[in-house]
Amino acid sequence: MTRTIQRRQLLKATLGLGGLACASPFGWSMAPSVMASTPSFTDYKAMVCVFLYGGNDSFNMLIPADNTSFGNYRSIRGNLAVDNTKTIPIPDLTGTLTNPQQR
């Protein structure tokens, strides 16, 4: 009976062996010297990516400024509505779709 190795099994085994090699006493004894030889950076910058996977509350991104529309917005959103005193006005909002089906 022949046994075939699946690609995922091979990758798991290879990564496991690599992890064991790093965690061996030799690997742990080498860690301080590797860290000491790494240059220190003073201007550290990071890029953070947040994947919302559909969790964006876009109804709170552009909040209506006029009283009538804001009243409708507040009645729809309830306790999730943003207070209109905490908004930044956008002077000229042009080029937005009135109907998303127009794409």
pLDDT at 96: 54
Higher pLDDT, 82 or 55: 82
In a domain, 23, yes or no: no
96 in a structural domain: no
Other Cβ atoms less than 10 A from the Cβ of 23: the count is: 10
- The model's pLDDT over 41-77, given as tens digits with 9 standing for 90+, comes to 678 788 988 887 777 777 778 888 888 988 998 999 8
Q: What residues make up the domain containing 54?
A: 44-86
Q: Could you give the number of structural domains in the chain?
A: 1
Asked whether residue 82 is domain-assigned, the answer is yes
Considering only residues 19 and 57, tell me which one the structure prediction assigns the higher pLDDT.
57
pLDDT score at 72? 92
